[in-house]
Chain A
Amino acid sequence: MPENANIEQISFLGLAKQNLRKLSMFIMLGLILLVFAVLTNGVNLTPRNITNIFIQNSYILILAVGMVLVIIIGNIDLSVGSVVAFSGALSAMLYNTGIGLIPTLLLSLLIGAAIGVFQGFWIAFVGIPAFITTLAGMLFFRGLTYIITNVSPISLRDDGFKKIASGSLNIPGFTIGSMDGLSIVVMVIAVVLLVFFTLRQRRKQISNGFSVLPLRYTILKVASLSALIIFVFLRFAAYRGIPTVGLVLFIVTAIFVFLTNNTVIGRYIYAVGGNAKSAKLSGINSEQVVFITHIIMGVLCGLSGVVFTAYMNSALPQAGNQFELDAIASCYIGGAAASGGIGTIIGAITGGLVMGVINNGMSLMNIGADWQYVVKASILLLAVFYDIWSRRKSGLG
């Protein structure tokens, strides 16, 4: 370590206090998992159930990733549920022509992109508020779904499609003990990469003279993240291996975490959402940024449509009903601000998992949808209340 290393002196409590707001949703997710572990005698933490939580919520989480970008830019998208149904139905029809899985997936993404172009055009260039445009889109694409499906389910020609949602990644015969071998290998690689990149980044920051946290906190952070990875992958390994949809989700999350943090367009989204007028005078083409954001949302709707069709093993005309509300709630639970400019991908994913874990836990306890709505609504209000309250207290809001 060079001698001029600029290490911040801070106590553990001070650091925890500083980051309480950022960490609060992870803490909430952890608490909810624990509460249900007690209530269900640990059933919700079983390998099978952990895998199910990922599979059952994957299509909402994918939507939440797009939705949080739309919310950051200061808009909203009410059409996502209908677009999921529409692209899901089209993907089933495409697959049934026998073109194969990968072409079906790519075409579905393209259909989503085209829908994003259509809606983004009205929002960004014509100036119709997103709320109205996507309200129209919600009705429009629901109607189109009914028309192309004749209001009856489309079943798939074979089981190949289903694998996107319920399949697992594994190498036949490769097991370690009674566990899936591939999961264990990926887990080890993930932890090694995490340690390597964290240390490399820290070294880079020090050599650039930036101030960094003391090493023990970096170790603490890496240790807790590693523990999380090990926990999840051991559950996967003990059941059927890494679910395919988990990989899809990981790729989507990784792409958009990178996009929001490390690319020009990502920072433009935050700038336009933070203050559109100021962004424009800073030389940012706000209309174009809004347009692109809605295209991204469209592509992710296309992906979500494919995953949902795979999950149901058929395309339903009623698919995606109220998905927009779950996606929007995920973003707000995950700390996005309704006024725009604030929000993160990881936050939206965590928010979506909070809702998913509650749904799952209550289902395990045989509590019906009626009470699930009530509890989910309360969590939404409480989470946003905490966010606003803590923001005001720390002078951010």
Chain B
Amino acid sequence: MSNDEYILEVKNLTKDFPGVRALDSVDFKVRRGEIHCLVGENGAGKSTLMNVVSGVLPRSEYEGVVVFKGKETNYRSTRDSEQDGLSIIHQELTLSPYLSIYENIFLGHMKTRFGIIDWDTCLKDSYPLLKRVGLREPPQTIVSKMSVGKQQLVEIARAISRNAELLIFDEPTSSLNDEESENLLNLIREFKKEGITCIMISHKLDEVLAVADSITILRDGLSVASYDLTKAPVSQQQIIKGMVGRELKNLFPKKEPDIGDVVFEVKGWTVHHPDYHDMKIVDDASFFVRKGEIISFCGPMGAGRTELMMSIFGNSYGYGASGEIHLHNKRVTFKNPKDAIEQGVGYVSEDRKSLGLILIQDVKTNITNSSLPKLSKRGILNKNLMRNKAEEYKESLQIKTPSLEQLVRNLSGGNQQKVVLSRSLLADPDIFIVDEPTRGIDVGAKYEIYSILNDMVKQGKSVIVVSSELAEAISMSDRIYVMNEGKIKGVLDRSEATQERIMHMALVD
């Protein structure tokens, strides 16, 4: 079954997660020695595909065949795939932060003599590797002291130290600046000359077109198109069309906008990475929202949308935030989330399990947690009022739970999301920020969540949605802010927004 032309062949691959089919009979072929780019929207299945290929998901977890170097793979973990010459460089760096460069490079496969680590040899061997990846730092440097770009080079050095024949880069430039990105792309071209095959996942189409020999597009778990650029060129428009080209069905409730004056405005907001203080995660972002308006923030993962919102919401993210917040035409500051909530701003996190809910508590307690001062007198709770309020939201948001005493961990994703929404709504915010409100919940529950947001604006409140689903953003919002690389790249009106335009604005302009 071996075909020498292809180093990697994926045939008829299907992978199910509970409730979601992440990959649906995907075919994917990579020729030996080429640079193959994998593109697709958030959630299209790119990372899942790479997790299957590299053994993060073991053989028993998927259906289909993966052939690497002419042999069907049976990896139990990435350790097996690395031994086979296949390495993946993750979007999130996986270095051990307090170890030095050369310790990190040889972590897990140290040079040993009689079972004792031979650090001298490790150190000696690290020099040529660092030279190859173009990192000019002494190998003894502690990696957490270096920039993310340099850390990534260490990660690459680590991969090639294991004689990798196939390198997979998962969004390698998402946290790099322009110069670092250019260097990285050059490095990938170097690897190609040396005969190493590279797969690159990327959201940045100009980069893709600059380096790719082949491009495969995934959409909703399907491999929709494959282009061989050595035979015929491909345009950005074609790729974008392939990425988003799904039909819009009637998935959204109708909204009749009744928009008033500006109630909330953020000017020149900048925030830095919590650990790397010189790295800007949000760069000079300004936006406003009007009474009765829904606005959305779109852009690829890592664009800085969540970070922007959390840092506005009482410094819940990052370091050294600066900028101005105006609420009802008055300059305000939010010291902490409590402050923000008291002044009428609510925030619902995208990560409902670890930042939104208290999983070991029941529905009633979770709903009331933000509003206890209002539900009490001189510090003593009015338990009947608490119960009535919880009951009221259970009814109006149609939370499906056997009782208010049910632990939220036992609810479905959609119902958990409604509990978080209830908690924020009970605190009665004027400005309601919801981060990925429909992530990981089914279509029916999505529709209900949209209706809740619509009801809010009908009552004269304002809603800010962070969404990675373009269709959702376009159908739900009055205006769409497009972000990438920490900057607001532009804003589109409901009437002029199309998925292609948003994608174009984020990735190209």
User: CB distance B349 to A208 under 8 Å?
Assistant: no
In the complex, per-residue mask of A336-356: 1 if CB is within 8 Å of any chain B CB, else 0: 010001100000000000000
In the complex, per-residue mask of A266-297: 1 if CB is within 8 Å of any chain B CB, else 0: 01101100110111111111000000000000
The interface centre, meaning the residue of B313, B338, B357, B384 with most chain A CB atoms within 10 A of its CB, is B338
Stretch of A131-139, A214-222, A257-265 at the chain-chain interface: A257-265
User: CB distance A274 to B360 under 8 Å?
Assistant: yes
Question: In the complex, how many residues of chain B place their beta carbon closer than 8 angstroms to a beta carbon of chain A?
Answer: 37
In the complex, per-residue mask of B376-420: 1 if CB is within 8 Å of any chain A CB, else 0: 100111011001100000000000000100010010000000000
Q: Is B141 an interface residue (CB 8 A)?
A: no
Contacts A262-B381, A264-B379, A277-B354 hold; do A283 and B361 have CB atoms under 8 A apart? no
Residues of A within 8 A of B387 (CB): 208, 210
Q: Is A126 an interface residue (CB 8 A)?
A: no
Q: Is B22 an interface residue (CB 8 A)?
A: no
User: CB distance B372 to A268 under 8 Å?
Assistant: yes
User: CB distance A265 to B379 under 8 Å?
Assistant: yes
**Chain B residue with the shortest CB-CB distance to A342:** B360
Q: Which of A145-174 contact B (CB under 8 A)?
A: none
**B368 shortest CB reach to chain A, Å:** 8
**Chain A residue with the shortest CB-CB distance to B341:** A283
Residues of A within 8 A of B410 (CB): 395
Residues of A within 8 A of B92 (CB): none
**Chain A residue with the shortest CB-CB distance to B424:** A282
Residues of B within 8 A of A267 (CB): 365, 368-369, 372, 381
The interface centre, meaning the residue of B313, B373, B380 with most chain A CB atoms within 10 A of its CB, is B380
Cα A159 to Cα B244 with chains together (Å) = 86
User: CB distance B373 to A264 under 8 Å?
Assistant: yes
Q: Which of A235-264 contact B (CB under 8 A)?
A: 262-264
User: CB distance B372 to A264 under 8 Å?
Assistant: yes
Q: Is A1 an interface residue (CB 8 A)?
A: no
User: CB distance A208 to B370 under 8 Å?
Assistant: no
Q: Is B209 an interface residue (CB 8 A)?
A: no
Contacts A275-B359, A285-B336 hold; do A262 and B316 have CB atoms under 8 A apart? no
Q: Is B356 an interface residue (CB 8 A)?
A: yes
Q: Is B423 an interface residue (CB 8 A)?
A: yes
Residues of A within 8 A of B337 (CB): 280-283
Q: Which of A186-220 contact B (CB under 8 A)?
A: 204, 208, 210-211
User: CB distance B338 to A285 under 8 Å?
Assistant: yes
Q: Which of A4-52 contact B (CB under 8 A)?
A: none
Cα A267 to Cα B363 with chains together (Å) = 14
Cα A264 to Cα B427 with chains together (Å) = 15
User: CB distance B361 to A271 under 8 Å?
Assistant: yes
Q: Is A396 an interface residue (CB 8 A)?
A: yes
Cα A161 to Cα B337 with chains together (Å) = 49
Residues of B within 8 A of A341 (CB): 358, 360-361
Residues of A within 8 A of B493 (CB): none
**B265 shortest CB reach to chain A, Å:** 22
**B256 shortest CB reach to chain A, Å:** 32
Cα A283 to Cα B383 with chains together (Å) = 20
User: CB distance A262 to B336 under 8 Å?
Assistant: no
**A7 shortest CB reach to chain B, Å:** 14
User: CB distance A281 to B372 under 8 Å?
Assistant: no
Cα A281 to Cα B350 with chains together (Å) = 12
Residues of B within 8 A of A211 (CB): 403
Residues of A within 8 A of B403 (CB): 211
Partner of B379, one of A263, A281, A283: A263
Partner of A271, one of B313, B316, B369, B407: B369
Cα A262 to Cα B377 with chains together (Å) = 11
The interface centre, meaning the residue of B337, B342, B387, B388 with most chain A CB atoms within 10 A of its CB, is B337
Cα A277 to Cα B317 with chains together (Å) = 11
Q: Is B347 an interface residue (CB 8 A)?
A: yes
In the complex, per-residue mask of B153-193: 1 if CB is within 8 Å of any chain A CB, else 0: 00000000000000000000000000000000000000000
User: CB distance B381 to A263 under 8 Å?
Assistant: yes
User: CB distance A278 to B354 under 8 Å?
Assistant: yes
Sort chain A's interface into a size bin. 20 to 34
User: CB distance A283 to B427 under 8 Å?
Assistant: yes
Cα A152 to Cα B336 with chains together (Å) = 50
Cα A310 to Cα B167 with chains together (Å) = 73
Q: Is B355 an interface residue (CB 8 A)?
A: yes
Cα A263 to Cα B375 with chains together (Å) = 10
Cα A39 to Cα B170 with chains together (Å) = 69
Residues of B within 8 A of A283 (CB): 337-338, 340-342, 370, 427
In the complex, per-residue mask of B316-344: 1 if CB is within 8 Å of any chain A CB, else 0: 10000000000000000000111011100
Cα A384 to Cα B337 with chains together (Å) = 36
User: CB distance A263 to B380 under 8 Å?
Assistant: yes
**B314 shortest CB reach to chain A, Å:** 8
**A210 shortest CB reach to chain B, Å:** 7
**Chain A residue with the shortest CB-CB distance to B368:** A267
In the complex, per-residue mask of B255-284: 1 if CB is within 8 Å of any chain A CB, else 0: 000000000000000000000000000000
Contacts A262-B383, A283-B338, A283-B427 hold; do A274 and B349 have CB atoms under 8 A apart? no
User: CB distance A284 to B380 under 8 Å?
Assistant: no
**Chain B residue with the shortest CB-CB distance to A266:** B381
The interface centre, meaning the residue of B349, B360, B383 with most chain A CB atoms within 10 A of its CB, is B360
User: CB distance A274 to B361 under 8 Å?
Assistant: yes
Residues of A within 8 A of B347 (CB): 281
**Chain A residue with the shortest CB-CB distance to B335:** A285
Residues of A within 8 A of B365 (CB): 267, 270-271
Cα A204 to Cα B384 with chains together (Å) = 9
**A395 shortest CB reach to chain B, Å:** 7
User: CB distance B349 to A281 under 8 Å?
Assistant: yes
**A204 shortest CB reach to chain B, Å:** 7
User: CB distance B384 to A278 under 8 Å?
Assistant: no
Residues of B within 8 A of A265 (CB): 379
**Chain A residue with the shortest CB-CB distance to B388:** A208
Cα A337 to Cα B387 with chains together (Å) = 26
Contacts A278-B354, A281-B347 hold; do A208 and B384 have CB atoms under 8 A apart? yes
Residues of A within 8 A of B349 (CB): 278, 281
Contacts A264-B373, A281-B347, A282-B423 hold; do A271 and B358 have CB atoms under 8 A apart? yes
Partner of B369, one of A262, A279, A396: A279
Residues of B within 8 A of A282 (CB): 337, 341, 369-370, 423
Residues of A within 8 A of B370 (CB): 282-284
**Chain A residue with the shortest CB-CB distance to B310:** A281
**Chain B residue with the shortest CB-CB distance to A287:** B336
**A261 shortest CB reach to chain B, Å:** 8
Residues of A within 8 A of B316 (CB): 280-281
The interface centre, meaning the residue of B336, B368, B388, B423 with most chain A CB atoms within 10 A of its CB, is B336
A-B contact pairs, 13 of them (CB 8 A): A263-B376, A264-B381, A267-B365, A267-B381, A271-B361, A275-B357, A278-B354, A281-B316, A281-B337, A282-B370, A284-B338, A285-B336, A285-B338
Closest 7 CB pairs of A and B: A274-B358, A283-B341, A283-B338, A282-B370, A275-B358, A264-B372, A282-B369
A binding-site residues for B, Cβ under 8 Å: 204, 208, 210-211, 262-265, 267-268, 270-271, 274-275, 277-285, 337, 341-342, 395-396
Known A267-B368, A274-B359; 10 more pairs at CB < 8 Å? A208-B387, A262-B381, A263-B381, A264-B372, A275-B358, A277-B355, A278-B358, A282-B341, A283-B340, A284-B370
